[in-house]
A and B are shown apart, each in its own frame.
Chain A
Amino acid sequence: MNFNRRTLIAAASAAAFASAPFAASADGLPRNVRMVIGSTSTGGDTYQNSAIVAEALSENLGINIKVDAVGSTEAFKALNRDSRGSTIMIFHDQSYLGNLYGRQGYDDPFANYVVGPTVAINPGNAYLVPADSPYQSMEDILTAAENGERVRVAIQPGGVSEIGFSAMKNAARVRAPGSEENIVAVNTGSQSDKNQAMWDDLADVINGSIQANEQFTQLEDGDDKAMRFVWITARDATLGQAPEAGMGGTTRDDMLAYASPETSVTLDGTNDFTFDKEFFFLFNPDMDPAIIDQIDTALAEIYAAGDIQERQKESFFIPNFLPSAEATAHLTDKRDTYADVITAIAGN
């Protein structure tokens, strides 16, 4: 076989072309990055948030980032396989709540991965009752439990949807030990299933969200589908950053009335329980730390420019950039608090 100059140039070009996806850019991140997310939905909040962040990062770093909605199990597998930095992940509090609730497929993310920067909060996690419910507030619900009344709460078990339910049980325990047994879970699936559980009179309270359920709270009296908010789990400081007009017929002030401190679900008798659904990066533990620094720096520049905040707020997200070190400390504290809540009600 003869190797002439043309053959060698062609071979070198082909090799360069083939290795292009893996070639690192000047700052460490590969040119083509796959951002896996812990959701299989490309219409949900995780995808929307990730798409916004991926687009901004791509522009800032001059690389390609593709968001793949592979779901949590496959996302963790993909992250485990790749320490080069060509696979990174965005997910939310479900990543450690799944582990705390003992769900299969959820390792401890703090022990097995590197927790990266936070980027945004979805402040919408909420609990609702039928419009004609005897319960006007969380106070009524917890009092009913104290009085021996069984309160059924529709949730999707094992994560974000369950943590508010656990907090309700914990609050009942703190107020009147033993009354937490009267707050029982109705395990359902999607938001549609939770709504249906309410309409079928299988649940007295349902987990929902401001985004998905707000219009049901605006329905006229007598409509079987009508609902009322009783609790929004976000911190008041988070909700305070939402647009003043709020969403639909519910203003920001209306929302704040359903959140701590106006609506109190106690954590320990002194402080209120709150939960912000935060989106953050996860990295392979063996990935070059310089890549994490690169992402931190790029995000700091992006958030300093300010455009991404507008984009996030348009989709009812609260911008929440924290660099990796701060994010890890913050999320570790948060995880420890929720671990205490779950432990406190274990067996009830």
Chain B
Amino acid sequence: MFEFISPLFLSLIVGGTMVGIIFGSIPGMTATMAVAVCLPLTYSLGLENGLALLLGLYVGGISGGLVPAILLGIPGTPSSITTTLDGHPMAQRGEGERALKIGIVASLAGGLISLLVLYLFAPALADFAIKFSYVEKFLIIFFALTVMAALSSDMLMGIFSGFLGIFIALIGSYDISDGGNGKYRLIPPGTEYWLDGGFSLLPVLIGLFGLAAILDQAELGVPKGHSANDVKVTKANKFSLSVFRGQKTNVVRSSLIGTFVGILPGVGGSAASILSYTNAKTFSKNPENFGKGEPAGIIASESGNNGLTGGALVPLLSLGIPGDSTTALLIGAFTLQGIQVGPLFIGNSPETWNAMIIAMLIANIAMFIMMYFAIRYFAKIVTVPKHLLFPIILMMCVIGAYTINYGIMFDVWTLLIFGIFGWVATKLRLEIAPFIIGFILGPSAEVYFVKSLESFGDLTIFVTKSWIAVVLWLLIIGSIAGSVMISRKSKTRA
């Protein structure tokens, strides 16, 4: 039953996880890139060993994103955005190591819970997932968009920023790969050559979070002694598992949200951490602390995005449909070996199924051990003088932007444009977090909204389609009401 376990199998998982962590830790490099780079190697490794490598890369890549998110304030992957919101403020007040360890433990929990769900319920969940039509998928995206209000310090400005993000995300063509008509829209005249595909997500992300922060710091200048001794790590802010006291519900809820979002093809990994974060904030006793360095925010975000790893494999292995961009590459590994994935895969290929589960389990444990014990060295990055650190970050951002779509120079310009935009935007009191959430979710919201209307006729379908739609509306209303209450409470306190 477990003949596939060999020293090579184990070392490929561990090696893959390590490389994945490195990819995830570099702004602009992602788990998807790590898997893409190593995919051709799997042909000579055989299916089980090849999958061991790729799943290690997948788990490591998703997990590694928390490192730059927390230490540099640059999300290593789009699904780490909400980790940045609380992780980076913690790092800035000297709790970088603690924030990283909280994130790693939460990642492990998310990964293992989703793996358990995958192992026990994959076929049943796939049957449930196909009940989500365009309408329900739109409502999920809409629900995630409500986080824009919750993340705003000035609600009106935050919502405006979010809508601006959606608007800018829609520049380009209404892609036929989404069922659109392929026509250009919102492109300023004369820029069609560059903007026909719109702005790419990762360059926008690292521009807004990475370059804008560097420009902010450059504006301030580097005061004498402003480096290694800025950040003090004291006993009071050391990591202890007690931080998870009272967070069990948050961990389980966020992991399940991540898993659930993963099983819905086309919703996207970023929605997993955003939804987990929104829920954690809505149900928190101290929602006003979110965005200022609240450990519960990191726990929600990281257990949510690692929860995605098992979830995204559900439609892949039960329907032959990838749950996210990284699992789409895994199909390539199967095809290279002449193996079909679809509804009969688990029953027909028990050995491969077991190998994948074992590989995911070991990859999660390896990720935890490697990151937990290496973290003190990672954390030292905040002690590197900024005049040395920032040029290196800038270089990594440019390389990441250039390579993310396999060598498109306009992506580097995108990085620079949005870096400057991010720097100016904060001076205009625009809010970056709602902006980027609008930018990420806007295109999916558009597609599912338009397709819902094309398919079902009129707006009433959003309420009448199914009981799932009704439940989602209740969650949306709850989230909006919660945001309004939090905003009023903050104003009263002020």
Contacts and interface: CB of A to CB of B under 8 A. Distances in A.
B40 A156 contact: no
Nearest to A77: B193
A99 to B, nearest CB: 12
Contacts of B407: 34, 68, 70
A103 B331 CA distance: 28
B336 A68 contact: no
A338 interface: no
B319 interface: yes
A195 B319 contact: yes
B176 A156 contact: yes
Contacts of B406: 68-70
Interface stretch (B72-80, B103-111, B253-261, B342-350): B342-350
A196 interface: yes
Interface string A194-216: 01110110100000000111111
Contact of B197 (A51, A73, A213): A73
Contacts of A248: 340, 342, 344
A104 B183 contact: yes
Nearest to A313: B338
Contact of A158 (B182, B340, B344): B182
Contacts, number: 136
Interface string B195-208: 01100000000000
B202 to A, nearest CB: 13
A192 B342 CA distance: 12
A315 B193 CA distance: 36
Given A41-B328, A192-B321, A219 B343 contact: yes
Contact of B182 (A74, A104, A200, A225): A104
Interface residues of A, number: 55
A238 interface: no
Contacts of B447: 189
Contacts of B322: 43, 192
Interface in B154-186: 173, 175-184
A215 B336 CA distance: 18
B182 A43 contact: no
B332 A48 contact: yes
A123 to B, nearest CB: 14
A193 interface: yes
B135 to A, nearest CB: 9
A62 interface: no
A336 B335 CA distance: 33
B133 interface: yes
B455 interface: yes
Contacts of B175: 189
Among B176, B451, B455, chain A packs the most CB atoms within 10 A around the CB of B176
A55 B328 CA distance: 22
A219 B333 CA distance: 24
Given A105-B196, A189-B178, A211-B335, A218 B344 contact: yes
A73 B344 contact: no
B408 A190 contact: no
Nearest to B455: A202
A27 interface: no
B338 A315 contact: yes
Contact of B179 (A71, A157, A216): A157
B453 interface: no
Interface in A25-83: 34, 40-45, 47-48, 51, 55, 68-71, 73-74, 77
A188 B319 CA distance: 18
13 contacts: A40-B405, A48-B332, A68-B406, A104-B183, A105-B182, A186-B455, A189-B175, A192-B319, A193-B266, A200-B455, A213-B342, A215-B340, A225-B130
Report the 6 A-B pairs with minimum CB-CB distance, sorted nearest first: A215-B342, A43-B332, A68-B406, A189-B179, A192-B321, A43-B329
